Amino acid sequence: MLRRLTSLPRAPLSAVKASASRRTIAHSAPVASSQLSSSNVVLELDAHKVGNEIRKRGLTSSVSNVRDGGMDRDTIIRLLYSLGSRHEVERYLRIFTSSSKASSGGVLPEAKFAVLKIGGAILTNELDDLALSLSFLNRLGLYPIVLHGAGPQLNDILEAEGIVPDYEDGIRITDAKTLQIARENLKLTTALERLGTRARPIPTGVFTAEYLDKDKYGLVGKITRVDKAPIEAAIRAGCLPILTSLAENAEGQILNVNADVAAGELAKVLEIVYLNEKGGLFHGVTGKKISTINLDEEYDALMKESWVKFGTKLKIREIKELLDTLPRTSSVAIISTDMLQRELFTDEGAGTLIRRGHKLYKQNAIDAVGSTQLRQVFTERDPDVIAGRKSVAEIFSDMKHTPHTIYGDEPFDVVAVVSHPEGEVPVMTKFLPSRNGILNKIVDNVFDAIKKDHRRLFWTAKADDENRAWHFERADGSFTRAGRSLFWYGVPDVKEVEKIIEAFESTGRIERVFLPVGPSTPPHRLGSAAGTRAFSTSARQLGSRRGYATASNLPRKRVALIGARGYTGQNLISLIDSHPHLDLTHVSSRELAGLPLKEYKSSEVKYSNLSIDDVKRMEENNEVDAWVMALPNGVCKPFVDAIDAAKAKGGKGVIVDLSADYRFENDWTYGLPELYDRNLTRESKRISNPGCYATNTQLLLAPLMPYLDPAQAPSVFGVSGYSGAGTKSGEKDEEGRPKTVPKIGPSDLRGGIRPYALTDHIHERESAFRLSTLPSSPSPFSLAFVPNVAPWFSGIISVLTAPLNQSMRASNVVELYEQQYSGERMCIVGKGVPDVTEAEGRHGWRMGGVQVHSSGKRVVVVGALDNLLKGAATQCMQNLNLALGYDELDGIPLDKI
């Protein structure tokens, strides 16, 4: 994880910069002593991913062999276009591929630099990838200044040398031998030189320090001064500076200093810093990542939170003190290594963004905000004003005659107007963010302020609004008509939604386009019954995060299902049949080839027996937008390989694999949206669908992860219906179709349950593997899981027993689940023990029955889901929707969650 601080330049720069971007990227001025501190080039380097991209495209020789001329421009462009959007890459190329010829004095007149704080784990495990990435950036004219520590990895080196690491107050006690080992920084320099990139090790000379406490900590220093001259000298000589976290005192004694502290001190001089962290700051109760912290608005309240203590409190305080010394435009980003590439090539951020920001305001009168400023905002951003449909004067007049509140921030990056006549439902009539307001997440702060004041709200946006996804994430429900989308939260009853809309249209509070002319048609059933498919738009429960859209103008996508005879395949066919935007075009089953697919009503489809070559050809011709692999474990790899091979000829298909074949592969996205980053699924072409037991287990354990006793593994006792055992070929029916016969049926079980795979079940390994990636996970993490099969058809019930690291009450535990899943429509938190009959045939997950042992340090929780739906087909549909750009819950009957 890295922490980065950026600032805008203090003087105008001749090069292009992303003035509204959350991540400011710009040329620096020529490198000189007086100007080095004003540079603001900030790049985040994903050693693993960039290295892989370089290798995959056979660019290793280009990086290592090209010397003065840099990499071929076409080669650079091919690589960059695979990583970012067109406009982002073009902007990047304008900035970073300009001429960088050396002057007669040896100074690179267009030199650009960034400071990277690299952790010991990267040096140990990803050295080659790191060197490739640094070399690649250097070929673009960048001069990354690398500051590295050793961290926990130094312990392994010391122990190998026979030195036992010792700590006091969390500080490593440093003697002469420890210091000698810590001074080593030639590995990275050597790796760079092998690639033809000049690098200069700078083990000392940058930091001056005094003893922190010689008697207590030994040769450990406290930094008193930073000298950037050695860094400038290295860059002038065309070398990448490689710094260690070491300092000298006035007598010339080398002292060990904390690498994070050293990076912070360097930031005060260079105004750029990267610190190894954990991927973001996480809420201590919910465990969810905090996207943005606006210090001016949130600092005081945040520091009073019960979970903000110890290291977290110190970290936030240190960041605030650092930002207070820098221009207001500075910010700190705490991100993980797998998000670095997104930081480098895209506008959207990753991890937690911490900025001073500005305070928010809310006023009930135009004059209280400032009519001149508001007039400018409406003139520049309001679609009605820009299109000439309304004047600013008309908007001001409407506001003066209707009770309203104006929300925004001091620089007017976001302005919102909420109309709230007494006794009526509030309507957000204006929501006008600048590009900076979107990228810096000010829109979230303002919307949160609105939500605190109004427990229910309606608003509209254009159907093609580029920020449409943002609106869906904050709505309980939505639907689209005549090019406009209507959103709302806080009204769970669809019939009430319809009545509210009728009232709005009759009084002119919203456009008269949302209810059909003629007999009233509720918003959850738009469309003609004859000839066209109806589009579901059911309202969602209060607090949910994803709307259920009905925008019929969205492009339709084609799905091919490989392996359709089993129970999961049949359920997925049913879901696709009712989907507003998907068409099932191919269904492959060797046993049923040539027979009509009767279960699919939307069009005529016949089973086929697609070969590997058929699949490759279809992918090359882009005949299919998404492939679903519903095959047994160990069978689908040849199909996946064929689709991958077609990428070279333009294949773009998404794959969702329902087997366990790719659940442990890092280059596949693991598709459990309620727990893991949805954005990764949206951007992915290869998605592994979680197992049924694994889904239940992870949803049960996730809220408890920060509170588990690391000395005792939690255990899960799971019981599944016999459909989970799969099907086998049986007799044929009167039409010659093979009957679907369960591998294990009620007669085999004789009314009882049958334990199986009592150790090392694949879902045990899958759950432990994935849960260990959560930031709140104990390290190391393991769990015990015992599966059983029962004589009912479908449905899983799992009983979790979890030892805790502190005493808790049942109410505290329930609150953890409510907070974790408060925005998740597919997750139902209950009080009583869920029954398996409540889960059978339902698309969601439910939990309850929380009981705490009398000691307060062991909790039992019960979870239930349908193994064929949320455990397989429904979850597949969520992943398909995300990957294909639809609303996550499209095609899923919300009345059956």
Q: Is the bond preceding residue 555 a cis peptide, omega within 30 degrees?
A: no
Quick check: is 692 catalytic? Answer: yes
Q: Are 288 and 281 in contact (CB under 8 A)?
A: no
Q: How far apart are CA 735 and CA 437, in angstroms?
A: 62
What DSSP line would sit under 28-88, residue for residue?
A: PPPP-TTTGGG--------HHHHHHHHHHTT-HHHHHH--SS-S-HHHHHHHHHTTS-HHH
* Strands across the sheet containing 427-433: 360-363, 404-409, 414-419, 427-433, 457-462, 484-489, 477-481
Number of Cα atoms under 13 Å in the Cβ half of residue 298 = 19
Element (H, E) at 557: strand 557-562
Q: Residue 287 to residues 280, 753, 816: CA-CA distances in angstroms?
A: 11, 36, 9
Instruction: Dihedral sign for Cα 41, 44, 48, 54, please.
Output: negative
555 exposed, middle or buried (CB, 10 Å; 0-12, 13-18, 19+)? exposed
Q: Are 360 and 445 in contact (CB under 8 A)?
A: yes
Q: Are 212 and 256 in contact (CB under 8 A)?
A: no
Number of Cα atoms under 13 Å in the Cβ half of residue 257 = 34
Select from 136, 274, 106 the least CA-distant residue to 197.
136
- b/e burial code for range 223-232 (CB count within 10 A of at least 16 → b): beebebeebb
Supply φ then ψ for residue 73, to 5 degrees: -60, -40
Q: Are 700 and 800 in contact (CB under 8 A)?
A: yes
Identify the DSSP state of 703: G
What DSSP line would sit under 3-17, residue for residue?
A: EEEE---SS--SS--
Active-site hit among 239, 636, 692, 827: 692
Q: Residue 212 to residues 58, 171, 247, 249, 706: CA-CA distances in angstroms?
A: 49, 10, 12, 11, 33
Q: Are 242 and 204 in contact (CB under 8 A)?
A: no
* Strands across the sheet containing 582-588: 607-608, 582-588, 557-562, 626-629, 654-657, 686-688, 669-670
Instruction: Work out the angle at residue 835's Cα, subtended by the Cα atoms of residues 833 and 836, and round it to the nearest 5 degrees.
Output: 140
What DSSP line would sit under 377-442, residue for residue?
A: HHHHH-HHHHTTSS-HHHHHHHHHHS-EEEEEETT-SEEEEEE--TTS--EEEEEEE-HHHHHTTH
Q: How far apart are CA 818 and CA 225, in angstroms?
A: 49
Q: How many CB atoms lie within 10 A of CB 281?
A: 23
What DSSP line would sit under 266-299, residue for residue?
A: HHHHHS-B----SSS-B-TTT-PBP-EEEHHHHH
Structure tokens at 813: 């535990």
Q: Residue 674 to residues 699, 709, 870, 872: CA-CA distances in angstroms?
A: 8, 24, 11, 14
99 exposed, middle or buried (CB, 10 Å; 0-12, 13-18, 19+)? exposed
Give the catalytic positions in this structure: 692
